[in-house]
Structure 1
Amino acid sequence: MTHGGRGVSGVDGVRGKPLVVVGDVLLDEDVEGDATRLAPDAPVPVVEVAGRRSRPGGAGVAAALAARDGREVVLVAALGGDPASDAVRSMLPPGVRLAELPLDGTLPVKSRVLAGGRPVVRMDRGGGTPGPAGPTVRRALAEAGAILVADYGQGTVAAVRGALAEAARRVPVVWDPHPRGRAPVPSTRLVTPNEREARLFCGAEGGEGDTLRAHSRRGALLAERWGAAAVAVTLGCRGAVLARAHCDDPLYVPLAKEHDGDPCGAGDCFAATAACVLADGGLPPEAVGLATEAAATFVGLGGMASLGAGEGPTVGGEPAAPRAGGDPFALVEAVRAGGGTVVAAGGCFDLLHAGHVQFLQDARRTGDCLIVCVNSDASVRRLKGQGRPFNPAADRIRVLAGLGCVDAVAAFDEDTPEALLRRLRPDVWVKGGDYSVRDLPEAAALREWGGQTLVLPYLDGRSTTELARRAAFRVP
């Protein structure tokens, strides 16, 4: 698993301590084949079996994914003396060290039948009760540099909850919740429910709606309820929303590229990547950004089938080419008439650079069209001073309109685009990650018609001012 910018393995991480994965382990079995006909005695597909595959499931998947970059991982889980438990022990990768709780009963086994790579039916069997934590488990939690919790409600997390609550006060804890599990302990650094789980945990208080605003509101509600630093609501092919309690600045992280495939295990990949980034000293926005791309790539590489295939998922990929556009006001009418989402973004865009392009590509993915609101020459001069802009408005507009992710461009003469936005009335207004929603005067205008202001991640180290300085002084 590649973490991108930091590139720090668990062996050389800033903490120098292992990542501890705590949770319920099970045995996953996949029966794979093709279905080209129905059974003669019932309207069910007949699967011609081509092969079988077994692997550790539940917290075992998260531990295996976290260990793929060479870091030291300790898996705290309940295992017994049954064949399924023995199979899991034998299949864990060399980088995962076990700290076992006793298991009274048998390890759960989850069996899926897949036809053409898609699940047809799932069968569950087995189950047991974890016993008390011994000295090996207590020592592993005390020596953890970071902790990932995968609570499937089978009792492992409940057995060590007190130790987890203490650990959350001193090291980063990522909690991957499940409907049958318990609430995260207070001070958890990041909780990672998917959108269905977030709705379930919020109940009626979370409200309805499938908008980014609705998902971020549920994330903020859960962060407050659980006493967590942040909640990342994962949205599948739409990316993720990072929210905090009592904060109206949600961070939306779109996918650079959508991947088609079996999503089983994507949530484990997301949580494992986020935990690794936090273990290496990263912050939640960075963790969520890298985790979103890693989970999507994991699906694209075959999901669970890729776990034994050598090289792990990496972050990257080019976005799909958006459609072209034209007059901004006509475009707004057409998109809105079709029930689409209108997105607007703004800036000077003088000396267009890679940071601008990344920002605009991400903005375009939040809706069905992107209109760029660009400062006029006089507006740029008032904001940036004499000597700016370097490129006149006509040139800047032409360059922006030539980008595949831009559907239309509109210029404004004022210091802020508020007047233009009131004419366009976009559903979403986006700004780069170095802004706060509460500091943007446009945010108040958006609220007038129920629009949403979002802050998107920006590509660090790219700056028009820095480009101009290097060009002027010929800095290599």
Structure 2
Amino acid sequence: MKLSMPRFDLAPVLVVGDVMLDRYWHGGTSRISPEAPVPVVKVNQIEDRPGGAANVALNIAALGAPASLVGVTGVDEAADSLAASLAAAGVTARFQRIAGQPTIVKLRVMSRHQQLLRMDFEERFNTDAEALAAEVEALLDGIKVLVLSDYGKGALQNHQVLIQSARRRGIAVLADPKGADFGIYRGASLITPNLAEFETIVGRCADEAELVSRGARLMLELELGALLVTRGEHGMTLLRPDHPALHLPARAREVFDVTGAGDTVISTLAAALAAGEELPQAVALANLAAGIVVGKLGTAAISAPELRRAVQREQGSERGVLSPDQLLSTIEDARAHGERIVFTNGCFDILHAGHVAYLEQARAQGDRLVVAINDDASVSRLKGPGRPINSVDRRMAVLAGLGAVDWVVSFAEPTPERLIKLIKPEVLVKGGDYGIDQVVGADLVRAYGGTVKVLGLVENSSTTAIVEKIRGQ
């Protein structure tokens, strides 16, 4: 399955549901309490993170999508902390604040990256369902996807009103369900139960075939557009009416903490669908995102650069031969990680020791090396009949195998000036007896503050000389 990074900036999503504050007390522990057989933690750091529906909205914003949130809180310090964190992340949050009821807080005591204790401060909210529905109605214009993030804490009491309101506008509705009655999500475009939640409704599934058949019946009964069952270490299963089941394996390299993984799945799904991705591709992106988040501690958001890098690994574009579009996306990610881009170009027809030494010198000028090579017609114009000896595909494959080279791209024009304008490398290098003013693109690079360097070549190393020697023999 081919994956790409969607235009998340064009994907407005509205999240409605149970917001909560995930609070972490961090500290060291070196002794057991004399009062009871428990460790004593000396707290030296307090950290607040948005949780529940607020974490879903935060994840959407972290991907670069416009995110709005409607939820219910108390009138207290925890609600203020939530509002401040969400505003700082660019989330538009509207809270129905209820006096006399606490904002839901999950307090975790941590020591050496291990959770020692969790304490929950919560009461089921007496939500004004009509007022909340009116708030949602007022925010739906321009929204591409509505997410119902349901933790069963009382914020969502009128699911059908919200679902039908969105459907009348042609807005997709995604629901992360809870409880023993999935009937409240009837008509949703997609629901995302985990395996335990799914089996609570349909009964235990002995194998994948039974999961698929029972899922199909559930979709028919509830008039669902699709069903995504998240299955932990067994990955995910996407079910759609009149389509074969799609089973995706888990992508986690190392599972550190599963807190918030479900939030990451539905937020990535929602943002990708809002950006126009087809459902299978959106699910595959969500699967990659989940594999990243379980390697982090606590409730965490996945950034667009992190997801882009995972997509590049998936598509094999972390290194090697790329198209210009792939290269631009990859370079954007590299720069997001603070890496400097070095650019050079040439024909590289028969690779020799001089080329290898030159490319190693070029790579040392920055963090990533892009090598642009002339296509076959361009080489023939430059070098004359009988050249190139090797086709462009073979030349790119050989260059991509060198340790000094990160990415290889070809160009058809007489010079690489168009690529230089697109890439805007921090460093432009050329080898040979050129003066800096003779290097194609030097003026462009220097105009935006980049560096231009001319590097020497290894003596007595020349593709033309090699060709002439072979012909002479």
- TM-score over 0.5 for the alignment? yes
Band of TM-score, shorter chain: 0.5 to 0.7
Q: Which amino acid aligns with 1:148?
A: V
Q: Which amino acid aligns with 1:151?
A: D
C-alpha distance in 1 between matches for 2:111 and 2:56: 25
Q: Does the residue aligned with 1:255 lie in a helix, a strand or coil?
A: coil
Who is 1:194 aligned against? 194
Q: Which amino acid aligns with 1:298?
A: V
Who is 2:231 aligned against? 235
User: Structure 2 residue aligned with 1:207, among 204, 209, 215?
Assistant: 204
Q: Deviations over 1:262-320 (max 9, x none)?
A: 1101110001000111111222211111101101112224452567x99655534869x
TM-score with structure 2 setting the length: 0.58
Who is 1:265 aligned against? 260
Q: Does the residue aligned with 1:133 lie in a helix, a strand or coil?
A: helix
Who is 1:7 aligned against? 6
Q: Deviations over 1:212-240 (max 9, x none)?
A: 33443443343233321111111123210
Deviation at 1:6, TM superposition (A): 4.1
| 1:116 maps onto 2:112 in alignment | yes
Deviation at 1:167, TM superposition (A): 1.0
Who is 1:299 aligned against? 294
Counterparts of 1:446-461 in structure 2, within 5 Å, are none
C-alpha distance in 2 between matches for 1:179 and 1:120: 28
Contact 1:8 1:280 in 2 (8 A): yes
- What percentage of residue pairs aligned between the two structures are identical? 31
Who is 1:91 aligned against? 85
Contact 1:273 1:290 in 2 (8 A): yes
C-alpha distance in 2 between matches for 1:82 and 1:180: 32
Contact 1:133 1:159 in 2 (8 A): no
TM-score with structure 1 setting the length: 0.58
Deviation at 1:246, TM superposition (A): 7.1
Q: Deviations over 1:179-201 (max 9, x none)?
A: 37864533322211111111122
RMSD: 3.3
Unaligned runs of 5+ in 2: 315-392, 394-411, 413-473
Who is 1:176 aligned against? 176
Deviation at 1:174, TM superposition (A): 1.2
C-alpha distance in 2 between matches for 1:306 and 1:152: 18
Q: Which amino acid aligns with 2:254?
A: H
Q: Which amino acid aligns with 1:268?
A: D
Q: Which amino acid aligns with 1:176?
A: D
Q: Does the residue aligned with 2:185 lie in a helix, a strand or coil?
A: coil
| 1:285 maps onto 2:280 in alignment | yes
Rg larger for: 2
Q: Which amino acid aligns with 2:91?
A: V
Who is 1:420 aligned against? none
Q: Deviations over 1:14-56 (max 9, x none)?
A: xxxx210010111111123455655455444444434221122
Contact 2:6 2:277 in 1 (8 A): no
Q: Which amino acid aligns with 1:187?
A: G
Q: Deviations over 1:369-427 (max 9, x none)?
A: xxxxxxxxxxxxxxxxxxxxxxxxxxxxxxxxxxxxxxxxxxxxxxxxxxxxxxxxxxx
| 1:251 maps onto 2:246 in alignment | yes
Who is 1:219 aligned against? 215
